[in-house]
């Protein structure tokens, strides 16, 4: 027998062994099926036939393992964007982000259509300092296109040895040409509560950036410190919080609503579960405002919606993202795993958090503006009630009690951040001034002229109109960056948020209303005026 004939026979034999195995699996899997489900068996037979024809007739040799793996991935792609097939290494990377630290750039990403898209930069990280922002599409890593590449593969390309350099190319809405960012990788330590301090009006401010395994302990520490200072109210900032661990969301809610209270139910095809608070906690009677926006997702939506449902906090900002599906990881016999969407979240009032159009958008399917409007109207036609009988709406995310628009940054401001102008100028300035700067430095005309000269030296052009519309942002950013270098991130953050429109309206709410009940009455009056 000739070698080519022998190879062909071996290949065909391999296909028939694989065919027999798949048919045996199919027979075992569907032998107990109900009447009418035999079609699954028939379709699996067709799949085996296609595999057989490929192996016998394709122009080059094909790997059984690769063919089956791609078939599995294709099958999962027909479900939703969160149902995923993992190799061992991919699963390890997937679980790393919940452990509190990892090496990389400092961005939360998701795949929207063919594009790896920035959901949120993590505060205090290289990407955050460079001005990477939510909505940026990452199209290349070190010159190699990642359009169409999976989220997990993209993460692998962006992560690397601490201290090494990576160039990412982004496409930003409103900017015609791609933009390159050269970023030095750092060991990313994720602090769940990066900022907490008492504001000038006596109200506490606390930011939760995500829900990882340290969130509850960090929250308790921050709350204790703020309450020792005698705060008269609390603002909890969940904007750009992409979520995280469900148990941490439940335990943080526990801190405000007490023991044995329903937080969320997961309802699926095979089982339903109800999650209740587990611990006795300190009674907190001061008014609480929870800030959210379109990038607040998953566990952060459970937190915000639960405080709203139990009438323990007023939600303010923009309608949240609407990621309310639950995934479960199943190990496979080859050591890999599959993450499967098994249920949806329903918070205490009965609202389903999940926004169904997100699944279509995240898988690259087209959703028209009219479809989105129709879905939004349908969600707001569904009226639910809080513990004390207030009307709330669902699902499709959490609707705020008081809606406040986001700030918009001018194109000149975007360009300054993209070029890291404030960071680099502050470094040079402080070298020339012996790293001496007060907690509230004055941006004098001379200092502004010095900064603008630096901007021009970097070939960044602007018009007088650009400068007029961006001057306040520039002055605030210079001040913040100078303070950061000398006094640390938190003092710099206090300066940054001094021009935060949504936060300032939340602060004003405490100055006008002394109790949560008064805030609820005001919120209801605002809704009637819409």
Active site residues: 298, 309, 323
Kindly state the tokens that stand for 379.
């969600």
Half-sphere exposure of 477 (CA within 13 A, CB side): 21
How many Å separate Cα 124 from the centre of its chain? 16
CA–CA separation, 324 and 304 (whole Å):
13
CA–CA separation, 462 and 112 (whole Å):
33
Q: State phi, psi for 438 to the nearest 5 degrees.
A: -80, 175
Kindly state the tokens that stand for 100.
């509190």
Q: Pick from 201, 195, 213, 297: which is nearest to 252 by CA?
A: 213
Q: Pick from 336, 316, 476: which is nearest to 400 by CA?
A: 316
The length of the chain is 530
CA–CA separation, 146 and 150 (whole Å):
8
Q: Pick from 462, 440, 436: which is nearest to 451 by CA?
A: 462
Q: What's 179's DSSP letter?
A: E
Kindly state the tokens that stand for 144.
């190699």
Measured between its terminal Cα atoms, the distance across the chain in Å is 84
3-state secondary structure of 438: coil
For residue 431, how many other CB atoms are within 10 A of its CB?
A: 9
Q: Contact, 55 vs 10, CB < 8 A?
A: no
Buried (b) or exposed (e) across 52-83, using 16+ Cβ within 10 A?
A: eeebeeeeeeeeeeebeeeeeeeebeeebbbb
Ramachandran assignment for 100, one of left (phi > 0), alpha (psi -120 to 50 degrees), beta (any other): left
Kindly state the tokens that stand for 101.
């630290």
């Amino acid at each position: 027998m000739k070698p080519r004939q022998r190879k062909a026979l071996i290949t065909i034999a391999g296909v028939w062994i694989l065919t027999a195995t798949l048919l045996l699996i199919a027979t075992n899997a569907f032998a107990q099926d109900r009447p009418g489900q035999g079609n699954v068996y028939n379709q699996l037979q067709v799949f085996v036939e296609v595999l057989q024809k490929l192996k016998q007739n394709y122009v080059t040799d094909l790997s059984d393992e690769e063919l089956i793996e791609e078939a599995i991935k294709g099958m999962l792609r027909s479900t939703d964007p969160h149902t995923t097939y993992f190799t061992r290494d991919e699963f390890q990377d997937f679980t790393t982000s919940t452990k509190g630290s990892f090496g990389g750039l400092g961005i939360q990403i998701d795949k929207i259509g063919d594009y790896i898209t920035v959901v949120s930069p993590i505060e205090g990280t290289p990407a955050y300092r460079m001005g990477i922002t939510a909505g940026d599409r990452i199209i290349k890593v070190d010159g190699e296109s990642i359009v169409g590449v999976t989220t997990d593969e993209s993460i692998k390309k962006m992560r690397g040895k601490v201290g090494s350099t990576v160039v990412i190319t982004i496409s930003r809405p409103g900017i015609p040409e791609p933009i390159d960012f050269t970023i030095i990788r750092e060991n990313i330590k994720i602090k769940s509560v990066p900022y907490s301090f008492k504001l000038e009006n006596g109200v506490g401010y606390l930011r939760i950036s995500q829900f990882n395994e340290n969130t509850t302990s960090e929250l308790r520490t921050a709350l204790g410190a703020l309450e020792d200072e005698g705060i008269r109210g609390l603002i909890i900032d969940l904007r750009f919080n992409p979520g995280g661990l469900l148990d941490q969301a439940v335990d943080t809610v526990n801190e405000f609503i007490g023991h044995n209270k329903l937080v969320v139910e997961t309802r699926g095809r095979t089982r339903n579960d109800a999650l209740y608070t587990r611990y006795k906690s300190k009674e907190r009677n001061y008014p609480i405002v929870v800030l959210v926006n379109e990038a607040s997702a998953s566990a952060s939506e459970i937190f915000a919606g639960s405080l709203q449902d139990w009438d323990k906090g007023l939600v303010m900002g923009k309608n949240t993202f609407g990621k309310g599906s639950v995934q479960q990881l199943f190990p496979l016999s080859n050591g890999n795993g599959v993450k499967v969407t098994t249920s949806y979240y329903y918070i205490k009032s009965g609202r389903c958090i999940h926004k169904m159009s997100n699944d279509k958008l995240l898988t690259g399917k087209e959703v028209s503006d009219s479809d989105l409007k129709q879905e939004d109207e349908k969600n707001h036609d569904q009226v639910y009630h809080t513990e004390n009988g207030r009307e709330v709406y669902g699902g499709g995310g959490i609707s705020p009690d008081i809606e406040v628009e986001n700030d918009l940054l001018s194109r000149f401001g975007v360009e300054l951040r993209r070029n890291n102008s404030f960071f680099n100028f502050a470094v040079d300035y402080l070298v020339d001034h012996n790293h001496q700067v007060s907690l509230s430095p004055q941006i004098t005309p001379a200092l502004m002229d010095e900064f603008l000269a630096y901007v021009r030296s970097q070939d960044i052009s602007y018009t007088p109109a650009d400068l007029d519309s961006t001057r306040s942002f520039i002055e605030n950013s210079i001040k913040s960056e100078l303070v950061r270098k000398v006094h640390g991130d938190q003092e710099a953050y206090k300066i940054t948020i001094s021009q935060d429109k949504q936060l300032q309206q939340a602060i004003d709410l405490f100055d006008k209303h002394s109790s949560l009940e008064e805030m609820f009455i005001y919120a209801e009056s605002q809704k009637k005026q819409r």
